[in-house]
Structure 1
């Protein structure tokens, strides 16, 4: 079996590789355009129809993150219901649909807006339908919530395309914002499950039986319910004190949960502390977003704490852990991968500083983009053999 054929045998292989490659490509395009303008030049012709900063935001939310979500769901969902993984034909189709969406948006300057919309919006229904078929075999509310999240995420992207097609007047920004806070809500749900669970498992493997992670139900309910409400509030156009209050509840409850997960114990295990760090960045980003809604700080800075630190950090942590476990490798992050984990929070801080202090805009944004691209280049360099090579027997945990 060739590397390309093996790539299409598992969701984590094809989608986690696609996500990593696209993360680097999309950032290089944005950095290149911005760097030319920072140097006093001008780029007036791009193949896409929308403004470069809008393309940048859309593709990292609905391009990169959508691939990461698909890889996770198509890897985890079969194990949830005791089913076999999807066939190679499905992965070929689904990855082709994802790529068609990326190409359609890239060449949107010369394509009909309706065609761009149809191609880009097709991916999530393909993944959602497959996940629904699997989950309906053994319906559990705990897992069915992912279908709700996919539906909200799809609706947010639809809002963007409706404005691009000229069918609505002012829904694109709201759709982008709703898409990002939907990803934040997903981190509250998924990160809130795996972070304490994996930490507990690791502690038990060392023989420790006391001082294990705790996750009080009231805090979990408050954090998740508030986070899930944010995309709905965004799409409804509700801002100001209401949005601020809900965002603050989500973020503060998330931080309170985190204090009981024994993060200090994980400091010598990057494969674990990366999960804690991604979750912490998510909570901090939500608090910053709530404060910005009250006029305290920059909303753009808060959104980048979420986009880079939370979404980027948590997806990198989950993708790499899943790739190691499902390919049969030990759950130990190599040095370059651990460095990648650390670079993304630095990128988030640099990008947020660029929005808070206009004098730092160009150096801050360019630094953040460079750190992002370096982090995902390290990820690709370390894990490429896992995506295209045969499974090994070392390591047995595949969660």
Structure 2
């Protein structure tokens, strides 16, 4: 590849030589003028032709001064492909046109964008620079995403660092988010198994690499392809960290409704992710929140009552109990969850017995939330009168959540 730099009197030609850690620009391989270290602390800006919207060169900071090199569009695109994911770029507005905002979060916004030249769709995570998210966090997150190369993790394409924001660019997940899927349809027994198995397999991979996600929720899970539930993707690693860094990387934002209860006591383990996956599984099955997002308290007994509802298949109830243990020492790890998931067979036939429809573990419910209600069906009352007299009906007066 060739690039050119204009001087006051003449234009100088440079060859671009690539190796594993550096890019060299020189007249020959033995006469190198500029060296670019392939690190995310190296910042490069791109230039485009305003008429054609094609790349025509790049800016490089050399000895504290900006140097501009121009190239033909084909070579410039090839050069950029080499640098993608290895260095940091400056202004993303030069190359991308925002389409619309997909999500807001405590860290920033998720934006759908179009690449100016190809018009391909991409997704950009925009994070505002602040005390809670610094340049050190920016580089830390890049390192996590580089090490977690997995088919079910949203792959980082490019990163940008400008005066006010950090930008992470990913391929656009055409299948939308799990949150949108849950809103749109009731998933079948097999579809639930397909999704939760992919989720736990990916979490198992993340944990095997010594990392923890700490920010799992349906809004952070996507599907690469439309109408293909086998293409699950996990995103949003702003709170992710290495297990050995837990003490120095404590979360500073709340994750409503999906966070493990022990985090409230500043206890961080990989099993925090398992609890979050359990809450997600409950949401997938019931399309309801297990913990109320408006509350700041949570109750294990109430939670157990909710997952004991007869509407949830017994096999999934067993999995939920394993994942949602409040004591992390008793909670299943990713491999144990996978074993339970792999043993899930076809949907358990529903039992037509009337009492099974109203099975309640009364030992797991607080007295304060129990109230007796009437049953309208007189035939069912007469048939089961003796037993039903002993059976309290439950009126749920509160929902629960944890925060940190």
For the aligned pair, the TM-score class normalised by the smaller chain equals: under 0.3
- Larger strand proportion, structure 1 or 2? 2
Max Rg structure: 2
- Larger helix proportion, structure 1 or 2? 1
More contact order relative to length (CA 8 Å, sep ≥ 6): 1
